[in-house]
Amino acid sequence: MGKEYIWDRVRKRKVVATPEERVRQWIIGELTNNRGYPLEMLSCEYSFSHNRKAYRCDLLVFNRKLKPIMAIECKAPNVKIEQSVFDQIGRYNLALQVNYLLVTNGVESYLVTRSLSGEHSFISYIPHYNEISQQ
């Protein structure tokens, strides 16, 4: 039996339909269809390095000046969102320096925002792109 593929609107190609990938495609749909995020401001599997270590963020959102503003970590629906997931995206943010961190498994989603003073807090909704793109 062959692998199942789904269309990735960001990468403009078919990708293997793993559970994690299905969650990524779901959140892309939520952001673009319901929150006004332009497709061209999203990057899948964004590669970067920090302290000589290579990392890859599942989904990164940029503002119109191409500055990263939100990092998103996607997990399969059966993966529990726990501290280790927040630690993972927190490590990414040491290099990315975004003000919004979203973790989701398609069942549970948590968005953490960083204030100007550096304080972190959870917010209960995903803001519209226009609300965060000016940063």
Which class does domain 5-132 fall in?
A: alpha beta
Digit-by-digit pLDDT tens for the chain (135 residues) are: 689 999 999 999 999 999 999 999 999 999 999 999 999 999 999 999 888 999 999 999 999 999 999 999 999 999 999 999 999 999 999 999 999 999 999 999 999 998 767 788 999 999 999 999 987
**Helix (H/G/I), strand (E/B), else coil: 76:** coil
Q: What is the pLDDT of residue 120?
A: 81
CA distance 41 to 33: 14
Domain residue limits, the chain: 5-132
